[in-house]
């Protein structure tokens, strides 16, 4: 009833307006995935949504990947963010601005996603009723690298009517707190990635796809899917901050009989299908090299999979099947803005081992609905946590059941959509935030 009431109120206030979303790619990451769900539910509520994707050259995406990494507190490729980079960033976005400007009316709302789009805030503000900049990345503690990245973005970000972050700590100190909103991402339980899938169907789907997925060759994935074996899984982009190399090395530290029937699967997108991540192919090659250097017994049980981005529904079903086939799902990120794959695995009732970083520490309550690693660089502690969980199936089942309930309570789409609708209404209707809060029976402070 609350969601219906807010949808009706938002539909009335937003009548005649279009909500435009702009991001850097239409496939290959959590932002694009969330947008597909966000737009579908928005349209279902009677709100008109549109989605635009940037055009950029390799130099532009190298610069924005550098900014992305530095917002996480790491140098990335270590390259500069000086006048030349600013000029190129602005030039690429100026070329995109005309296409955006000609589509907007003065009544519309524009949502710009992540560093790649921040430079469009100015033109969008001149042409639309309100502009939101949505940052999906961040770091709890600032350092010299985060300061450098924010300085690159500041002139653009400060112009936005509202800035949305996954955690309050991600907002830079210089940003007006009255324009900051915290909205955690969510998953769509009805999507191909998260919908019901039996164990038999999951196994059949993976066996059929195995020859095309197995980067290591030799039919290794088919062996891993044997009913005698258990799978430890991490699904993520080929990004150094996801630390797949560390996952492989830590997995090799498993001892005793446990190691005999446990296989590690690292799965990510085909790098050619992710246009805004120029480091992906390089990281995948590094992972292949790490795997090649593992002891023979560990190498045989370690599998690198690449999932085609040509058919997004098939891609999503394969991720669903992998997660439902896993005994344990890992997300050993060094830093993480939120971690959609964590919520996906929790929804499927899997026991999750993840780093106590960023938004992951909001999703998992250690020992209640998953296990958190205090130091993601401590590979021995990672191996010991895996070993404990694999040796205790009762604990794994208990954590998995609680994990599902946790996502059901906090990270499915209805609460997420309520927060976005409330933001849109507040931007275009003065005191509408208080009206919608009153109608729904809760106060703005709950947000």
Mean pLDDT of 405-420: 86
Average pLDDT score over the chain: 89
Q: What are the b/e assignments for 84-100, b being 16+ CB within 10 Å?
A: ebeebbeebbeebbeeb
Question: Percent of the chain having pLDDT more than 70?
Answer: 92
In this predicted structure, the answer to whether residue 414 has a pLDDT above a threshold of 90 is: no
Query: What's the pLDDT tens digit per position in 259-304?
Result: 689 999 999 998 886 766 788 899 999 999 999 999 988 999 999 9
Residue 312 phi, psi dihedral angles, 5° rounding: -70, -30
pLDDT score, position 141: 92
Residues 6 or more apart whose Cβ sits within 8 Å of residue 67: 81, 115, 149, 152, 153
**pLDDT, tens digit, 9 for 90 and up, residues 53-82:** 999 999 999 999 999 999 999 999 989 999
Do residues 376 and 333 touch, judged by C-beta distance below 8 A? yes
Q: Tokens in use for 10?
A: 């938002």
Per residue in 17-58, pLDDT tens?
999 999 998 877 788 888 988 888 888 888 899 999 999 999
Nearest to residue 326, comparing CAs of 347, 351, 358, 301?
A: 351
- The pLDDT confidence band at residue 257, using thresholds 50, 70 and 90, is low
Query: Is the pLDDT score of 436 beyond 80?
Result: no
């Amino acid at each position: 009833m609350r969601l219906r009431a807010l949808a009706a109120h938002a539909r009335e206030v937003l009548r005649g307006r279009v909500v435009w979303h702009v991001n850097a790619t239409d496939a290959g990451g959590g932002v694009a995935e969330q947008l597909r769900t966000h737009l579908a539910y928005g349209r279902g509520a009677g709100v008109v949504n549109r989605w635009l994707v940037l055009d950029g050259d390799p130099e532009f995406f190298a610069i924005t990947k550098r900014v992305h990494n530095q917002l996480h507190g790491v140098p990335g490729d270590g390259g500069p963010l000086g006048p030349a980079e600013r000029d190129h960033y602005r030039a690429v976005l100026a070329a995109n601005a005309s296409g955006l400007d000609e589509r907007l009316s003065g009544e519309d709302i524009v949502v710009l996603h992540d560093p790649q789009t921040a430079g469009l805030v100015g033109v969008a503000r001149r042409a639309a009723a309100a502009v939101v900049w949505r940052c999906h990345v961040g770091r709890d503690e600032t350092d010299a690298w985060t300061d450098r990245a924010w300085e690159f973005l500041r002139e653009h970000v400060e112009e936005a009517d509202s800035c949305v972050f996954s955690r309050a700590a991600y907002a830079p100190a210089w940003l007006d707190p009255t324009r900051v909103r915290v909205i955690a991402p969510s998953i769509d339980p009805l999507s191909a990635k998260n919908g019901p899938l039996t164990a038999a169907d999951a196994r059949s789907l993976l066996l059929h796809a195995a020859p095309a997925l197995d980067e290591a060759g030799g039919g290794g994935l088919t062996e891993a899917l044997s009913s005698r074996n258990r799978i430890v899984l991490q699904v993520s982009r080929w990004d150094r901050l996801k630390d797949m190399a560390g996952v492989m090395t830590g997995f090799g530290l498993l001892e005793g009989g446990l190691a005999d029937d446990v296989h590690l699967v690292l799965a990510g997108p085909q790098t050619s299908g992710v246009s805004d991540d120029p480091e992906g192919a390089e990281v995948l090659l590094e992972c292949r090299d790490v795997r090649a250097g593992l002891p023979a017994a560990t190498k045989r049980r370690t599998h690198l999979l690449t999932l085609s981005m040509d058919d997004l529904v098939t891609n999503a079903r394969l991720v669903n099947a992998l997660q439902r086939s896993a005994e344990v799902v890992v997300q050993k990120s060094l830093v993480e803005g939120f971690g959609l794959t964590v919520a996906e695995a929790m929804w499927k009732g899997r026991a999750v081992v993840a780093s106590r970083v960023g938004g992951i520490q909001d999703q998992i309550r250690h020992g209640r609905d998953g296990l958190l690693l205090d130091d993601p660089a401590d590979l021995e502690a990672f191996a010991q946590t895996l070993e404990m969980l694999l040796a205790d199936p009762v604990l794994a089942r208990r954590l998995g059941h609680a994990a599902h309930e946790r996502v059901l309570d906090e990270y499915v789409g209805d609460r997420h959509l309520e927060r976005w609708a409330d933001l849109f209404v507040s931007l275009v209707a003065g005191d509408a935030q208080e009206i919608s809060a009153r109608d729904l029976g809760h106060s703005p402070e709950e947000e």
